[in-house]
Structure 1
Amino acid sequence: MSSSLPAPGGGRRRTLDTAYLVLASLYVAGLVLWLLLGLLPPLAASSSATMEVLSRLARGTGSVATIAHGALMAIPEAAGWGIVSVEYAFSILNLGLGLVLLCRRPRDVVPRLLSLGFMGTAATFNAPSHVVFHLLVNAPLVTAVHFTFHIVSGVAYVWAVILFPDGRLPVTVGRGGRDTGLLALVTTIAIAVVCYRSSFVAHPPFFVAFFGVLIPVAGIPAQLVRLRRFEPGMPQWQQSRLLVIALVPALAAASVWLLARAAGWTWVASVVEANFPTVFALVPIILAVGILRFRLWDVDRLVSRGIVFAGLAALVGIAYGAALLVAKWLVGDTSLVGAVALTAVAVAAYPVRRLGSRLANRAVFGERLSPPEALRVLAHQLTSSGDPARDLVDVVVAATRCSGAALWLLDGTELVRAAAAGAIDEGPTRLPLVGDSEDAVRAALAPAPCEPVRHDGRLVAALTLAVPPGIRLPRVEQSLVRDLAAHAGLLVTNARLTRDLARQLVVVRTVADDLTMSRAQVVAAQDTERRRLERDLHDGAQQELVAALLRIGTLTSRSTEEISSQEIGDLRRLLGRTRTSIAELAHGSPPEPLVRRGLAGALSESATTLAAAGIAVSVDDRTAGIDLPSEARTALYYCGVEALQNIAKHSRARQAVVLLGADEHDIVLSVADDGVGIRSGAARAEPGLEHLGERLAPIGGTARLATTQTGVTVEFRVPRVPSPPEALS
């Protein structure tokens, strides 16, 4: 819970620890001496033997004689054994808690401070010892002990409630370590001075002011900062909440005391001062509970009962005093006053005890719901939206002393954890199950205790509980868990149906997504095929039809006698190739010239159409021995045909050169002419070039155009090795 003191080195650490233990031992010895000092007057008043021993010692010299003389002088002022018992019950409680922390956590910051604070308040709140002390003359040892307890208990308590539980300041002051250390030193000196000066004023009012106002005002804001820093339910959040719960009663009592003094109600202030040690006893008890619960050892029901006893004693004492005053005011100073007061306290004792028990269980075990409330909450959550499995385990943790709970659903040959709350270890969420009997479920979930959950007599789930070591659930809570499990059968069945429905919805959504994707793929494939046909028609059959139109135009400009049979045969063959190209497109086959003559031959055959326009074309093939992929060969063929047709239509060139070559990475096709170039420019060239680029893009190719005053050169590149589809995308 609390951080250990820094260990700069093994030897130095051992030296510091040894020095602390020696000083703490002297501190305990001084406390024992101080408490024995207060017992001497009542012992002497009730025992002649003690009186004789003290008288004999008082006739001597030295410190012992001084103490014996002071004890004898305090006999007339000695209180009765009833008051002495109450005083020493508080002192022994604080002494015991302080010794426990000293022995169990001697190296942690907060336990050290709490140990010193507990033992110091055991001395400073002890009124019988103070009576003897004020009658002593020239007793330096007792005086040193007295001042030590006042200073150490005040300083230790203030810093304990500020640093609780992790030994660190809740906020950083100024620029960090130096400013924080300086502020801590100044604060410690100020508290020490205040505690030192308290030895010279009336102690009961000072105790209420210091321990009821200053300590809560220091501790509660520090813990509220921590509560905002952590999520509810976390161990650090619960520890800070415990301290706030412990300090609130003391602050409330001190507030009543301040109002009474301001209003002049001295009798109310006196009642608060007399009962304040009982109220403040809650602080060490609950602080110890925080240490016990979260770090040192496990808490059992005795701690809860201790809190109930301390709270009940405080409330009964205050209630009895108030009842006496009210009864005296109502019936006067008669023998009925005591009877009326006792009756009022007796009537209030049972509900107060039940309330105290519930508050103690909430502080120690985290219980927030009584059994009837737990069943009502579960019934309400069954009818509301949300996570029913989570609601069940939350209710179990809130209504019992379990530190955690988990709900496991039977799912065929497995147990599936549906929900968990509280301190449940992060482990597998699925466990193998051999059989579906209750014994099989218990064996799979062992060693955790579990309660079967049934619906219509069929085992549907199991509720596992995390119970802190040393804690045993009382019968009422065991019965509550069985009732919750019985009511949870319908809840689990609904959860299972909801889960199955969610699975079916996931399947339906997956199928719908697949159908949507398939439809999109079909549409995309159709669109791709449409664009391919469009490109092939444009680059193949369309170009051949254009060439045929050019020849027809040339022939129609001449007379019939000037047209030779060879020219008519060439035109017939050209139209035949066009028909063949269209048929190939319909069947998805590559162009017939490409299949028959290869890329260079097919380009040479297409170049003959330029002869009719008076353009001389030369084809230079430098790719001998290079194996071209079929997709690259077809794409380059269509691009070359498109470039030749553009020369025939637009260039007014006299000659053109087709060069088919290769470099280290690409196959390169360039088509150049000596025509007029592209004077009106890019507006006409870019659409055609973009179209050719789209044809080459699926196989990783590119198209580039260069124009000068003496012609145009178009260059097409495709990789020698086909690119993978993911690289193209």
Structure 2
Amino acid sequence: MTDGRAERRGGTWIGALLVGCALVSVCWLVLGVAVAVAQEFAGVAGLTPEAVAASDVWTRGLVAGMPHSEPLSVLIPDAALTVLVLGLAGALLVRAPRDPAQLLLGTALAASPAAFGPQSDAASEVLATVTGVDGVAAVPRFVLPVVACVAYVLALAWAPRSGPLCRPRTWVVAAAVSVAAAALLSAAFFPDSLRCVLLVGLVLPLLGIAGLRQQLRASTSERLRAPARLLFGVLVGIVAVGAAPAVIIGVVASLSQQGMAVVDWTTVDLSTLSPAQGPMVLWYWTARLSLPAVAMAVLVTSRGSGAVSAQRWFSRGVVVVLVTASIGCLYVVVDFLSARFVFGGKPAPPHFVVGTAVTVSALAFLPVFLLTERAADRLLYGTRPTPYSVLAELAALPRATTGGVPDLAGVAEAVGQGLGATTCRLTVHRPGLRDRDYRWVRPGEEEAETSLEVPIRHGGQEVGTIAVDRAAVAGADDQRQDLLGAIANSLGVVLQAVRTGIDLERELRAAVAHAAEIADARRRVVAEADSERRRIERDLHDGAQHHLVSLSLTLGLAEYEVRAGRLEQARARLDQVVGQLDTAEAVLTRTATGLSSAALAERGLVAALRDELGQDPQVRLDTTGVTVDRFPPEVEAAVYFCCLESVNNARKYAGGAPVCVWLHRADDHLLFIVEDEGRGWDPETRSDHLGRGVRNMTSRIAAVGGHLDVRSAPGAGTRVEGRVPLGDPEASPPAPRAVPVPRPVDQGPTMARPAGDH
């Protein structure tokens, strides 16, 4: 709570200082414009010495300021620049009324027109005459420059962070005190224009460059580093643009052997300036424009991620400014030197001078441009690996781990370190699965909020993406972004290998699961066969064996009756033997049912189904989709059993509803469907919907590599659908033999039934 009140009080005081400085600058601007207009039209207004002596105090003040006034050629751009500067100061105040950095920068902007404007002395003379206070001139000459310079230094100390007002660091205090002293000394010895050049065009940008350089090295987040880098580049551009006229001034002054007189260039006619003073005027306006440039950069950096997204275009802008300043400076120097040549006692012709300057500038453009690109990139982003070294390190990485799968986490780290990035993310598109990300964040850094993402392709298909923070690919040219594209192209094979490994792993798991299912089905078949053998043994022991023993006893009695001569009794015993034979035959037939099918063994699946189901009016058999007579014996047995079992269950539980059996061969598979129109059942409400019959059918179909699906719903009947793979259908059928098939009648239902039905 206390910190919040202190922050609000600090913001209020700075805001009040900003408004006060803006009012002073507006007052000085109005008075300066009035003096310039009065000077321009002094004869029209009749301001003669006699008229001035008899006029009011304001008229006398305007006349007193005329000797210090600038010409209209300087007033018009100065007034336009003052309006721009005051508008930016107001925008900073409205946009961030509690941000100390922006308020301090707005204060520096608001104080600069009156502190460094060429019309300040004229406005001061007007106020001194009107008020009778001689010390009025000290406000724009001493007070406002100190306020502007100190506020500028403090603003740059807080600007990248835009945090609450806090105690400044030692170097910030030292810089503020030093610049205040420099402002006072320059005010005492130099005119307004030269003070502006020295302070605003040189001292303040150099202090800002030194402070922002420290912040760039100390920042651990790209969110803080990006705005500091942007401001740093603006200040570098200001110094470079100011250095160009300084070089020109030095060359011209040294070669012309003229003394450098300290002249206020804005108070004289531009046509009377010497060759060395023309560039000084340019330097002055460059210094005046530096404050609005810094203010606009601060506004950009305060827009959340604006500084991060603007880095690429901003870097190019810095290169353009530096190249323009360098080539322009070279052109002027060469032009001046060429003009000093003498041909036959005559000065060099103009076309020679211009042609020489243009030729030298054109030849120097490309080397200067490339050198400036590298210098700007290193200045803004530090020393970064070259594209070749990054690709070489990436190619030298081991392509696989011990498991045979590429180590994408290591690839992400290598790419991030090679690009000098703080964040690198590799994403693999996995067919049928969620994408998998591999992230790397530089130790001690925060993960970047925004990133540049590039697709990774292989064979024309997008297999993944790679993303790095924008600062890693930002630069004065497209080489960094092209490098990311080249890395993405080189990673296409790696990511495709990962995708292939994932597909192989999935297929392997599916094959293992299918093999386990087949093994389980085979175990169940063996168990069921053993159970069937025991049933047959039991039936033979309890049924057929009993009848055969009884038949043996009856034959023995018949033999006894014949020996005894009782033929009638022997005949009766033989009739009893015939009856017992019929009974034994029936018992053996019932016991052998399910062990073999003669029709299936001799004529195949279709004929056996027709013999078994063709005479039932409730069953419709459709085998038109089968074009071959025979299939592998194990396939015929499994399908035959499932069809009979399904039809038998439909007869029992479908309530006399029609039943359809459909058989069809599709390429290398045999399909069968048994569907009834009965009342159906709900699998969700039956805990035993996979009864013994369904399990037996599923085991049989799985044993031959097939799949069985049972579907039912209340009121929609039941559908049993099977699919069995085939071998070579054109192969000759095997020799007829007995084919074991399960018993369809006494096996039990396959559909879901209430608990207890087995």
- RCO (CA 8 Å, sep 6+): is it higher in 1 or 2? 2
Q: Which protein has the bigger helix share?
A: 1
Per the normalisation by structure 1, the TM-score is: 0.47
Per the normalisation by structure 2, the TM-score is: 0.45
